[in-house]
Structure 1
Amino acid sequence: MTFDRRTLIAAAMASGAALPVLAGTARAAASASPAPSAQPAGPWTEHGFVPRAGGRLAWHALGPKDGEVVVLLHKLGGWAADWRGVAPLLGEKRRVIAFDLPGHGDSAMLGLPPYVQTVPETATMLLAALDELGIERASFAGNSLGGVVSTEIAALWPQRVDKLVLASVSLFEGYGRAGLAAADAKRDPKVYDAEWRPVPRATANGAAITGGAAGFGTLVPAVEIEQDASRAVADRWVRPSERGVGLLNTQAALARTIAPLLFVYGDRGHYVKYVETGKAMRHDAEIVQLAETGSFVHQERPVEVAAAMRKFLDAK
């Protein structure tokens, strides 16, 4: 026996059962009034949301509206506030827009996170949001996840990208679905709990349980402590976003980019090994490497990073 959609709806109404479509509508209506942001206060002069299928993307901006646009994208488990030390130093003559990536910061998605939030999905959501904001072309700067997304945008839509800045970004080949399953099987309980929720990684004095800049992260305790806060907000969106990075061959994407490119890395932490990879993939790229700096250069050394970015973005 078969039923069409009208028959199913009529049967559900007759039985008093709640319909998923109605529940979804109620959630959407409830999200129309955004909750107060959990992010630290930043230098932003404007905030807004762009509705996308399944939720909304939050953006934060400053600088002249007629200036050249630079888009800032944060790390895995981060938020737009990661860039608050750099943004005002870029915004003297540029339009600076920082996004919260899907499920992160103030970007609210309806329902449960997917198993994988792929990088191309995130990239297309961001470009659609920029379309809504009337921005056809911009420079992109990203750290960690944000840098991978920026790379994919530059690879697939070169006409949308003026210049590209990668600040401490993983440049690896990806490991496919089998590798992803193997990584899930080796879940580190110091990083994720059994429900794939991020575990706090800083001790009371800010030292990273996972080894600090000697292992992965930062030399600045305040950055590690704030990362715990931003990861808690992203919650179950962290691992799906990380899985998306694992499925992408970022090296292949980087090799397809043609936009002028600046690498900004520290000399400590997880991402240092990718400096040589970047040199090999893009011989023409500029490279700035900051001493005594970990994986989050833009948060640890915002003045120096902003200066390097200004010089690069100003060059003709």
Structure 2
Amino acid sequence: MYALSPRQIALGSILALAASTVLPAPLGAQPVPCECARTAAPVVHYRTADVDGVSIFYREAGPKDAPVVLLLHGFPTSSHMFRNLIPALADRYRVIAPDYPGFGQSAAPDHKAFGYTFARYADLMDGLLGRLGADRYAMYAFDYGAPVGYRLALKHPERVSALVVQNGNAYEEGLGAFWDPIKAYWAEDTPARRAAIGFLVSPEVTKFQYTDGMSDVSRISPDNWVHDQALLDRPGNKDIQLDLFKDYGTNVPLYPKFQAFFREWKPPTLIVWGKNDKIFPAEGARPYLRDLPDAEMHLIDTGHFALEDRGDVIVPLIGEFLDRKLK
């Protein structure tokens, strides 16, 4: 070892500075493209529309002239459930995700003055789409979104360009033990039966829907059930939800008509189903293949809100499916 002279130290500092200095490009030189460039995420717009006197909130993104993808949410959530899916599709599709009355940011009239029924929801969604000039659309049908969407399909079967079904039921095989107290309410509309299903809007059940059957609970943001529960706890909202549990029974007699729509119109269909879901179990997924034998089915190791847990698997499946089927 030997000591460096002051001159050697100074020279070393100069060489190090020179090596770290980026000289300006000569005039006229073309910049080298940066491989790390990123494309900006599509802009999501948050809007409301008056449909038959009801304020309907919806999220919208994507080119106005692109094929439409309609995202129909379930209970107890809203279009909030699609906050990650929307920008993933909006680079090439016009994505519309509404909130039903009593959910999310849409109006929530008193249940004594407004009929909370799936038929009414389908009519309102039809009216919204008319306002937006969306006369043909692929539908993402989840949970409550299935009977809303399939009722919409019965009104305008020619408008459905494709189906993405995610834990959305259309077969009696899919109504398992979870539905027993609700079925009892369908059979006997009494205050006691109504009170007996009040637990379905409790914080425990809301959290259960997001966490039960999930392959990795650490992927599920607690913001989900906190957000949903805050809206469920609004004054009067419990009665809205209990009215809808009662009216869900009107969907079951329509199952044969939903199934006839599948057989007759044969919409291209992708089924991405959380197979561990206790609300709409996999027994409700498989019967679709009776009426849609060409449907693409993926039973995924997750629960009810499958997008929250396995969005990294499901979103590419949806994107690739739509790219093939929507021309």
Global fold match (TM > 0.5): yes
Aligned partner of 1:245 in structure 2 is 248
Flag the structure with larger Rg: 2
Distance in structure 1 (CA, Å) of the matches to 2:43 and 2:151: 26
Q: How does 1:21-32 map to 2 (within 5 A)?
A: none
Say if 1:152 and 1:253, in contact at 8 Å, map to a contact too. no
Per-residue Cα deviation, 1:128-164 (whole angstroms, up to 9, x for no partner) = 1111111111111121001221122223311221111
Per-residue Cα deviation, 1:213-262 (whole angstroms, up to 9, x for no partner) = 25x9x954624444423433554322222323221125324312322221
Identical positions, percent: 23
Aligned partner of 2:296 in structure 1 is 286
Aligned partner of 2:144 in structure 1 is 145
Question: How far off its partner does 1:127 sit?
Answer: 0.9
Unaligned runs of 5+ in 1: 1-41
Distance 1:245 1:112, change over 3 A: closer
Q: Please report the RMSD computed on the Cα atoms of aligned residues, expressed in angstroms.
A: 3.3
Q: How does 1:57-206 map to 2 (within 5 A)?
A: 57-112=56-111, 117-173=116-172, 180-182=186-188, 185-187=192-194, 192=198, 198-201=201-204
Say if 1:104 and 1:237, in contact at 8 Å, map to a contact too. no
Aligned-partner residue type, residue 318 of structure 2:
M
Unaligned runs of 5+ in 2: 1-40
Aligned partner of 1:30 in structure 2 is none
Aligned-partner residue type, residue 292 of structure 2:
R
Say if 2:58 and 2:96, in contact at 8 Å, map to a contact too. yes
Distance in structure 2 (CA, Å) of the matches to 1:106 and 1:211: 21
Aligned-partner residue type, residue 289 of structure 2:
K
Per-residue Cα deviation, 1:69-111 (whole angstroms, up to 9, x for no partner) = 1011111221111111211111111111110012111110433
Aligned-partner residue type, residue 131 of structure 2:
E
Aligned positions, number: 265
Distance 1:286 1:156, change over 3 A: farther
Which is worse superposed, 42-51 or 73-82?
A: 42-51
Distance 1:253 1:311, change over 3 A: farther
Aligned-partner residue type, residue 289 of structure 1:
L
Per-residue Cα deviation, 1:240-295 (whole angstroms, up to 9, x for no partner) = 2232322112532431232222111012022222122222332222112212x001
Per-residue Cα deviation, 1:40-91 (whole angstroms, up to 9, x for no partner) = xx98621221212342111111112221110111112211111112111111
